[in-house]
Structure 1
Amino acid sequence: MKISGPFIVACLAGLLSGLDTSVNIAFPAITAAFEIDVSQIQWVVVSFVLTYSVLLLPAGRLGDRVGHGRIMVIGIIVQGLAFVWCSVAPSFALFLLARVSQGASMALILGTAPALVTLSVPERHQPRALGVFAMTTAVGLAAGAPVGGLLLQVWDWQSVYAFRVPYMGVLMVAALLSGLHKKPETKNKQPLDLLGAATFALGLGLTLFVASRGLAWGWMSPTTVVLGLVAMAALVVFYRVEKQARLPLVDMSLFRKPGFGRANLLNALANASMFSIWFLGPYLLVDIRGHGPITGGLILGIAPTSTALAAWLTGRMIERLGLLRLTRLGLACQGVGLVLFSQIDSNSTMPSLVGALCLVGIGLGSFQVPNMSFVMASLPRSQQGVAGGMTQMMRTAGLVGGLAVWNTAFVALRDRRSRSLGAEEVMAPEVFVPTFSQVVGMSGGLAILALILTIGVKFDDQLTSELLDEK
């Protein structure tokens, strides 16, 4: 497989997206610096994730129209400025605005990166190329928390943003040397579906917002119900607009293709189940097992490190084993690994902890590459931006949905157990550990459910042939 400049830039962009995990470990310092309540720190995540979630698909379509490289360059510039803004923001409100701009620019970057990968290699090499791309993203996830911890040992919380500014400079130089700023040789003059993009952004944005805030408001509170109904109405309007549009943002006929809708659903379910580790794992490692923040970050990094290795290997094995077999293998490993991780407590051995995290990471990496390969190959090369945006959007929707589900389940089960035991401290080990086991076990069950949903799936033979055999 020949390595090209656009491919390198896309992989560096994937690494960048994973590095945002360095922010999580700085939450206590950010809370203290802006003198805010702990409950307000969630807006640091919500402002970023919601923004790039709703813009991923429109960004991909925009890349299809004016050139993925040019959109990538704009995203790099704005992202670099956003990191500077985050580092110097004098108030929490301005800091959140900087996070919104970071989310918007990340959508431009991630909405075009998968397309740059697939369009820079022959069709038969796409799975291998996507495997490398998934690997670099996982490396960023693995490195983010430890790097953030090391930076906080020396500097203040601003360093978790400032250290990425030079990286953006390197990325910009690579993009310019690769000619991504130049006009594409063939320009797609299809008009943008602005009404579809607006209704989609409103519907998805409100859905994810309600999912992230429903527990705090109450799932049956007037605010939750009203916003939920508005979100549903916007998505219904989006569907009707797309059905009638001559050149829609999303071609609804794609979901009639064998396996296409199921593949996107599996993407969301796999990432939702994985989020239980990121949500509850730090509390288990630091508060229950007594590991320090840096050690805890390194241990959590075992899962994405395993994902990186598995993604690289899977990209090279697709031709031999096929998409569906690897998808099932990945979901099975992820489900079993999560069930094993749910049994970890203060007395568990380090090998059992490492083994469970390795199995989960291997599962996700083995699943991601065939799943992304199938979705990307389902759309023509002129719509690779939309395909890439869809894969990233479903991944993010799964993560946000997972946060909402596991947070709701954890709080409900924790409070019930603390009342039954008469415990004054709701995070006491006798309360936390059994609740942790139940919630993470449920996330493992979700991965197994995704595995069951692959029964009867038949990836289109012609599509698979086009994917694996260069014309």
Structure 2
Amino acid sequence: MSIRTLLRFAPLGFALLCVQLDFFSLTLALPTIAAGLGVSVTSLQWLVSGYLLSFGALMVPAGRLGDIIGRRPTVIIGLAVFALASLICGAATDPAVIIGFRVAQGAGAALVMPNVFALVAAATDDKTRPTTIGFLLGIAGVGTALGPVVGGVFASTVGWQWVFFINVPLALIALAGTFGVSDSRDTSVARSVRSMDVRGLIFIVAGLSLLSLGIDAVPAAGWGSPLTIMLLLGGAACLTVFALLENRAETPLVRPSLLGIRPYRYLLLVGMFANIGLNVFIFLATLDLQVVRGESPQTAGLTFVLGSVGVALAGPAAGWLCSRFPVPVVLGVSTLVGAVSLFALALASDLWVYVVVLGFAGLSTGMSYSATQIGIQSAVPKPRVGEANSFLLMTLVAVGGVAIVIASGAVKVLGDGQPTAGSIDEVLFVMTGILVVAGAWMLAAARSLEPAAGPSSAAAPAR
């Protein structure tokens, strides 16, 4: 693929970069933001939780909106919302206002993410798609790599406000460039917002919101508290109603036949476990550096750079490999290598060895995520890529959030109430076992998924 063709899609990669940079920079800046506002870090946890709630809950409706009105205008709206919300977050001094507009940022990110991948899938052929998506994931990976550094350094120097302000020019550059990208939509649905399944929209947003609130309540209230149980059961009930409604809706947000596409189902499941490994490894590494090893946010961010660089390189590497080898093989092998990396991370006590292993862990787990994202684009018919992407990303965000809560609780329980090197290592060992099973299962299924999971004949017909 020519450099000119890749550069044509660069604004979409820049849009992904904004989302990644914002998410990975904020966590390390939280203590400084709390001190600047005169509140506790715990009370500002909703800067993360509120963002994830709106991001995850609105992913599927955002993908459907792109199918209806066009994916390019949906990305443009999302970037505009994201930029404006970032500007207000940086200028505000009231914690409630910042949290409110962090929720708006999450909504903007939800409009961007699934529709970016759907635009690329619709505008590329089977030969160029892996390289193009790998290129975009590489640009997004720069945001992942710079996020911890930006969060730690900005919070310690020019001020925490710039963690938000930096998003504004980046989002505006991406927005301007996106106007030049060819639009696409799902031509099988009416081009009117009125055709959206409103009842399904209400129940999926309510279900995912209640589940998110329930998971967020676990650290303080515990899994067995009445509040946690009520929220989790309420969320499960709403999602059950959503599933029943989708079977009857004229234009469902997610058509039930999506999970009937075998390659998509396999990629979704293995990709979900691989993404858990990525999320848990980043969370535990941050915990290890700041709590166990006692590094400052700035030092921890700089120490984590090699791990972030590994994640950044994972997209182009996965794109190159997926253009030469079957996606299920790339996904299976990278997941197994990720398992080895997490096992090595648990054994690395020396800081320099730990830093090097972070790089391998970031590269391998990041490649698993990238291979999943690349494979999905060819696993369904082109008109359904928006729907497929939004459901994939919603699943990854929701399950990733649950995994981090479980990992956090396990680390504290195993460490008698306090994260320790031993308790972090034990969780990493468990995660290693999960990735070994997922990777081996993917490799065992790879032969039966080819050519079904290949670029040209992956998709079952839409039903």
Q: TM-score, length-normalised on structure 1?
A: 0.89
Provide the residue aligned with 1:77 in structure 2.
80
**Cα drift, residue 462 of structure 1:** 4.2
**Structure 1: distance between partners of 2:441 and 2:190:** 39
1:25 to 23, 28, 32: 28
Q: Could you say if the C-alpha distance between residues 246 and 329 of structure 1 is closer, same or farther in structure 2, counting changes exceeding 3 Å?
A: same
**Structure 1: distance between partners of 2:88 and 2:105:** 9
**Structure 2: distance between partners of 1:287 and 1:197:** 40
**Cα drift, residue 335 of structure 1:** 0.8
Task: Note the alpha carbon deviations across 1:422-456, whole angstroms, 9 max, x for none.
Answer: xxxx46xxxx1111211222222222232243234
Provide the residue aligned with 1:466 in structure 2.
456
The answer to whether the Cα contact below 8 Å between 2:326 and 2:450 also exists between their aligned partners in 1 is: no
Amino acid corresponding to residue 8 of structure 1 in structure 2: A
Amino acid corresponding to residue 14 of structure 1 in structure 2: L
Q: TM-score, length-normalised on structure 2?
A: 0.90
Amino acid corresponding to residue 52 of structure 1 in structure 2: F
**Cα drift, residue 160 of structure 1:** 0.6
Which aligned pairs between 1:223-372 and structure 2 lie closer than 5 A? 223-289=227-293, 291-345=295-349, 348=350, 350=352, 352-372=353-373
**Structure 2: distance between partners of 1:206 and 1:159:** 32
1:196 to 200, 209, 217: 200
**Structure 2: distance between partners of 1:6 and 1:393:** 27
Alpha-carbon RMSD across the aligned residues, in angstroms, is 2.4
Amino acid corresponding to residue 262 of structure 2 in structure 1: P
Unaligned 5+ segments in structure 1 are 417-425
**Cα drift, residue 116 of structure 1:** 1.8
**Cα drift, residue 221 of structure 1:** 1.1
The 10-residue stretch of structure 1 (371-380 or 192-201) with the greater mean CA deviation from structure 2: 371-380
**Cα drift, residue 55 of structure 1:** 0.7
**Cα drift, residue 5 of structure 1:** 6.8
Residues 1:449 and 2:451 are matched in the alignment: no
Task: Note the alpha carbon deviations across 1:305-352, whole angstroms, 9 max, x for none.
Answer: 11332321221222432112111111111111111111233xx151x2
The answer to whether the Cα contact below 8 Å between 1:6 and 1:116 also exists between their aligned partners in 2 is: no
The answer to whether the Cα contact below 8 Å between 2:85 and 2:102 also exists between their aligned partners in 1 is: yes
Q: What count of residue pairs does the alignment treat as equivalent?
A: 450
The 10-residue stretch of structure 1 (159-168 or 209-218) with the greater mean CA deviation from structure 2: 209-218
The 10-residue stretch of structure 1 (51-60 or 31-40) with the greater mean CA deviation from structure 2: 31-40
Which aligned pairs between 1:104-143 and structure 2 lie closer than 5 A? 104-143=107-146
**Cα drift, residue 62 of structure 1:** 0.8
Provide the residue aligned with 1:382 in structure 2.
383
Q: Could you say if the C-alpha distance between residues 290 and 179 of structure 1 is closer, same or farther in structure 2, counting changes exceeding 3 Å?
A: closer
1:453 is paired with a residue of what secondary structure? helix
**Structure 1: distance between partners of 2:326 and 2:453:** 12
**Structure 2: distance between partners of 1:183 and 1:113:** 11
Between the two proteins, what is the percent identity of the paired residues?
A: 26
1:172 to 159, 175, 180: 175
The 10-residue stretch of structure 1 (62-71 or 216-225) with the greater mean CA deviation from structure 2: 216-225
1:68 to 61, 71, 78: 71
Q: Could you say if the C-alpha distance between residues 381 and 438 of structure 1 is closer, same or farther in structure 2, counting changes exceeding 3 Å?
A: same
Provide the residue aligned with 1:433 in structure 2.
421
**Structure 2: distance between partners of 1:462 and 1:275:** 29
**Cα drift, residue 257 of structure 1:** 2.2
The answer to whether the Cα contact below 8 Å between 1:118 and 1:129 also exists between their aligned partners in 2 is: no
**Structure 1: distance between partners of 2:188 and 2:273:** 36
The answer to whether the Cα contact below 8 Å between 1:31 and 1:38 also exists between their aligned partners in 2 is: yes
Q: Could you say if the C-alpha distance between residues 196 and 285 of structure 1 is closer, same or farther in structure 2, counting changes exceeding 3 Å?
A: same
1:51 to 49, 54, 60: 54
Unaligned 5+ segments in structure 2 are 459-463
1:241 is paired with a residue of what secondary structure? helix
